[in-house]
């Protein structure tokens, strides 16, 4: 698969090696974009040495009590991060965070720019009470 940006290599997430012992590539580009979205949401700013402001740190927010206010904060933070870091890769249609009992759910609807494929991703994490 050719990479859309010269010098950029699409790597499978989670990182692993293929049967030849090389860095595995994603099965297809649409899956790669979904993987990028997951990485962005759950990477904390400061976690990546060469990109210290990458990420939106949802895992850090999960240590607060689950509430509508937490869901609104997650929604705002995640939407800003997706638009900043993945705006050239996907068009964000909707990003919704909900807090129900001890589960925080983030649902994302988007269109992959390269393939024009509409997609949805759902991420759920249990929040400590």
pTM for the whole thing?
0.74
pLDDT at 129: 58
pLDDT at 101: 75
Encoding tokens for residue 6?
């010269």
Tens digits of pLDDT across the chain (129 residues):
344 444 455 666 666 677 788 777 666 888 889 988 988 988 888 888 889 999 887 776 666 677 778 778 888 989 999 999 999 999 999 999 887 777 778 899 999 999 999 999 998 877 665
Over its C-alpha atoms, the chain yields an Rg (Å, rounded) of: 15
Q: At what angle do helices 29-42 and 68-86 cross, to 10 degrees?
A: 130
pLDDT at 93: 97
pLDDT at 1: 39
Q: In what order do the strands lie in the sheet with 90-100?
A: 90-100, 103-112, 117-126
């Amino acid at each position: 698969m050719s990479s859309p940006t010269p010098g950029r290599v699409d790597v499978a997430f989670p990182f692993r090696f293929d049967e030849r012992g090389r860095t595995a590539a994603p099965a297809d580009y649409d899956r790669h974009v979904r993987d990028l979205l997951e990485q962005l949401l759950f990477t904390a700013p400061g976690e990546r040495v060469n990109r210290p402001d990458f990420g939106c740190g949802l895992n850090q927010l999960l240590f607060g009590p689950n509430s509508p206010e937490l869901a609104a904060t997650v929604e705002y933070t995640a939407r800003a991060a997706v638009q900043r870091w993945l705006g050239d890769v996907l068009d964000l249609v909707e990003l919704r965070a909900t807090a129900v009992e001890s589960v925080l759910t983030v649902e994302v609807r988007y269109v992959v720019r390269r393939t024009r494929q509409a997609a949805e991703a759902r991420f759920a994490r249990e929040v400590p009470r």
